[in-house]
């Protein structure tokens, strides 16, 4: 039976929720107690977190893979991330896990949408019946993590290499110009030294 890329999202969610069930962890995060109004640092994020969503499953899986632990040790971290930053927090988490380096999703597959550039929880443009020209015009269905950057290293690498070759050629040309200038200055200084 052929599988589509969208099957991996349901498999990811099913695997994580099965692990939660086996560990006896509820699928909905418990409500937080109300924040102390006198504490200026108290968090007032009281949004419930559904632990069976694709975003939560992706966050807990990323944390567990990075720290080489089971998902039971990362449940509270994933809760906090989605409670405070939402799905967009996955991009921040991905950057943080790479020591703050910016992630170029043209060369690195997005952990949420796996490089398709669309939000996997939303219906596709075909299901919505969107006009084909809307696909490239800041569409509503873009992935909130990678912002629609398609994972196509084979396409962008050629373009990137062409850019780098041009920069290298410019640098070599500039070096040759500087070398000839240094030669002319040295020759003139040598002539002056010989005359005196």
Whether residues 68 and 140 share a domain: the answer is: yes
Structural tokens at position 25? 């962890």
Whether residues 9 and 47 share a domain: the answer is: yes
Residue 1's pLDDT is what?
Answer: 44
User: Residue 120 domain-assigned?
Assistant: yes
- One pLDDT digit (tens) per residue for the chain, 196 residues: 456 777 788 888 899 999 988 988 888 877 776 777 777 776 666 667 888 889 999 999 999 999 999 989 999 899 888 888 888 889 999 999 988 888 888 888 889 988 887 888 877 666 767 766 665 665 667 888 888 777 777 777 777 788 888 888 888 888 887 777 777 787 777 776 666 6
Q: How many CB atoms sit inside 10 A of residue 46's CB?
A: 11
Whether residues 140 and 83 share a domain: the answer is: yes
List the Cα angle 36/39/42 in 5-degree steps: 75
User: Residue 36 domain-assigned?
Assistant: no
The stretches of 24-152 forming alpha helices (DSSP H) are 54-67, 75-85, 89-97, 125-128
What does pTM read for this prediction? 0.68
Residue 132's pLDDT is what?
Answer: 66
Residue 8's pLDDT is what?
Answer: 82
Whether residues 53 and 116 share a domain: the answer is: yes
- What letter does residue 177 receive in the DSSP assignment? H
Whether residues 111 and 191 share a domain: the answer is: no
Whether residues 102 and 181 share a domain: the answer is: no
Whether residues 146 and 170 share a domain: the answer is: no
Residue 58's pLDDT is what?
Answer: 92
What is the domain extent for residue 191? 152-196
């Amino acid at each position: 039976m052929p599988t589509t890329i969208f099957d991996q999202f349901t498999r990811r969610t099913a695997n994580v929720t099965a692990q939660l069930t086996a560990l006896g962890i509820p699928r909905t995060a418990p409500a937080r107690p109300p924040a102390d109004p006198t504490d200026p640092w108290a968090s007032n994020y009281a949004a419930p977190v559904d632990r069976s969503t694709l975003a939560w499953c992706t966050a807990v899986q990323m944390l567990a893979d990075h720290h080489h632990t089971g998902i039971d040790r990362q449940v509270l971290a994933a809760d906090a991330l989605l409670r405070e930053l939402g799905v967009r927090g996955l991009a921040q988490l991905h950057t943080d896990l790479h020591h703050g380096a910016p992630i170029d999703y043209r060369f690195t597959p997005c952990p949420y949408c796996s490089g398709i550039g669309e939000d996997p929880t939303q219906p596709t443009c075909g299901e919505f019946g969107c006009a084909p020209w809307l696909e490239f015009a800041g569409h509503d269905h873009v992935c909130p993590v990678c912002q629609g950057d398609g994972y196509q290293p084979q396409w962008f690498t050629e373009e990137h290499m062409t850019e780098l070759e041009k920069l290298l050629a410019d640098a070599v040309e500039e070096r040759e110009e500087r070398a000839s200038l240094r030669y002319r200055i040295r020759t003139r200084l040598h002539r002056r030294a010989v005359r005196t």
